[in-house]
Amino acid sequence: MKVHIGLDDTDSPRGGCTTYLGALLVERLLAMGTEFIDYPNLIRLNPNAPWKTRGNGAVCLRVRCPPEALEKVEEVIFETLEENSDLTCKNTNPGAVIHVGDVPPEVRKFARRAITGLVELEEAIALIRRFGDSALGLKEGRGLIGALAAIGEVLDGDHTYELLAYRTPENRGKRRRVDADSVFRMDDATRPLTFNNVDPQTRRVLITPRGPDPVLLGIRGETPEAVYEAFQMLIVEEPIERWVIYRTNQGTDAHLANVSRIADLRPHYPAIIEGTVLEEPRTIQGGHVILRVGDGSGEVDCAAYEPTGDFRRVVRSLVPGDVVRVYGGVRLRGEGHGVTLNMEKLEVLHLAPKVVYENPLCPRCGRRMESMGRGQGYRCRRCGLRRRDAGKREVVLKREVREGLYLPPPRAQRHLTKPLQRYGRENRGFNGCLIDRWHYP
């Protein structure tokens, strides 16, 4: 029988990672004689959901197991969840769901909504009951949402892979010892089959996260072979406890599904809007750039934050009248202040002419004339010529920005954001075959 195991919300800012639990379970489930029918799935849910600690990731393991082993499998899953969750953290509310058989369309739909919006715990519980799933929710059990959603996202459309390697306990919390030069060499050798290994501008290594979690590194790519080969190229100067290749919706824009009217924007939802730039972009304290966009239904401030680096240059170079498509997440700005759209991507659809008005040139000596006051005409300082009928000249400036798609640099992209290099490289479906080496041990 086919068994789908969803897991979520086991970690806290102090440590842990639901993918690590997934990796532990790979070893335990294989030891029990189950067979994996897919790579473990790492499903990123709505990145704007207010309850997330970091990347809003949930995990699903899909196995075939003999019916008589099911009870034991459930026992191992629930035990591992209890042992490996940080239950002391207020915001950690672990959940595990076990579904037998094919994934029902209702659960798929639930997953889409959890990725592109917000869902309620009651809905998850109702679906779990309806399909007779086994489930364990600890504390408030909010993790049941992510666990069920991970089961429901079967990744039959675009997807990518991430090889995640984990540290031994004594090293967790310490500096990650991965040779940076080897990461750059690996990046050169494997791009575009891997992506976002490094940030080219700052030369920062991006495969190693920061923080006390057990993840040593993660390599993202288009195929399991590519991430495995890339991993072999690295010089790692600390022991690796285990690693596993995940199949994932990272880098696919899965959260950015719907174009909204500005009037329909809802806090904590990802959104795409199309509209016209209404004012000169403003740079506010902290270096953030704000773009006011309107679409006939309403107006909204779109923000490019300081960490988005040069992306802000593009935003700053827009002028009123430009037509744009903005991709991002809706943030509540505080009581009574409406919402802001945090920009993840910007498409410049149409550039308006950028016009400046200059004082006229003196028809006698060619020098720029100066105004004699409002409606009084112009005079030339050099030769003294006065012209009451002269007016300002309209000059159309060359635009520094072109129509096209713009993204923040890799260091500022979200897990789900589809990088530029992935356009035209989308993966379709999964043939059910796993490469030999997809996990260790």
Q: Could you tell me which stretch among 56-64, 183-191, 349-357, 385-393 binds ligand ATP (CB under 6 A)?
A: 56-64
Instruction: Between 56 and 134, name the residue whose CB sits nearer to ligand ATP.
Output: 56
Backbone dihedral region of 372: left (phi > 0), alpha (psi from -120 to 50 degrees) or beta?
alpha
Instruction: Between 146 and 275, name the residue whose CB sits nearer to ligand ATP.
Output: 146
Instruction: Between 9 and 133, name the residue whose CB sits nearer to ligand ATP.
Output: 9
Verify binding: residue 417, ligand ATP, rule CB under 6 A.
Answer: no
Verify binding: residue 164, ligand ATP, rule CB under 6 A.
Answer: no
Contacting residues for 251 by C-beta, under 8 A, at least 6 apart: 160, 195, 196, 220, 415, 416, 417, 418, 419, 422
Verify binding: residue 162, ligand ATP, rule CB under 6 A.
Answer: no
Q: Could you tell me which stretch among 114-122, 187-195, 226-234, 285-293 binds ligand ATP (CB under 6 A)?
A: 114-122
Please give the Cα distance from 32 to 40 (Å, whole number): 16
Q: Could you tell me which stretch among 44-52, 191-199, 279-287, 332-340 binds ligand ATP (CB under 6 A)?
A: 44-52
Q: How many CB atoms lie within 10 A of CB 312?
A: 22
Mask for 85-104, x = binds ligand ATP (CB under 6 A): --------x-----------
Reported as type and span, the H/E element at residue 45 is none
Mask for 122-161, x = binds ligand ATP (CB under 6 A): --------------------xx-xx---------------
**Does residue 183 contact residue 198 with C-beta atoms inside 8 Å?**
yes
Q: Could you tell me which stretch among 5-13, 75-83, 167-175, 430-438 binds ligand ATP (CB under 6 A)?
A: 5-13
Instruction: Between 117 and 275, name the residue whose CB sits nearer to ligand ATP.
Output: 117
Verify binding: residue 46, ligand ATP, rule CB under 6 A.
Answer: yes
Exposure string of 123-132, with b = 16+ CB inside 10 Å and e = fewer, is ebbebbeebe
Choosing from 7, 24, 98, 119, the residue that interacts with ligand ATP (CB under 6 A) is: 119
Please give the Cα distance from 176 to 273 (Å, whole number): 40
Verify binding: residue 294, ligand ATP, rule CB under 6 A.
Answer: no
Please give the Cα distance from 140 to 130 (Å, whole number): 20
Please give the Cα distance from 40 to 60 (Å, whole number): 6
Verify binding: residue 84, ligand ATP, rule CB under 6 A.
Answer: no
Verify binding: residue 270, ligand ATP, rule CB under 6 A.
Answer: no
Q: How many residues at the interface with ligand ATP, by CB under 6 A?
A: 24
Tokens 């500096």 locate to: 175
Verify binding: residue 220, ligand ATP, rule CB under 6 A.
Answer: no
Q: For residues 304-343, which are near ligand ATP according to CB under 6 A? A: none
Number of residues in the chain: 441
Alpha carbons within 13 A on the beta-carbon side of 305: 12
Angle between helices 121-130 and 105-116 (to 10 degrees): 170
Take residue 257 and report the two structure tokens written for it. 């599904």
Choosing from 25, 49, 96, 343, the residue that interacts with ligand ATP (CB under 6 A) is: 49
**Residues contributing to the site for ligand ATP (CB under 6 A):** 8-9, 11, 17-18, 45-46, 49, 51-58, 93, 114, 118-119, 142-143, 145-146
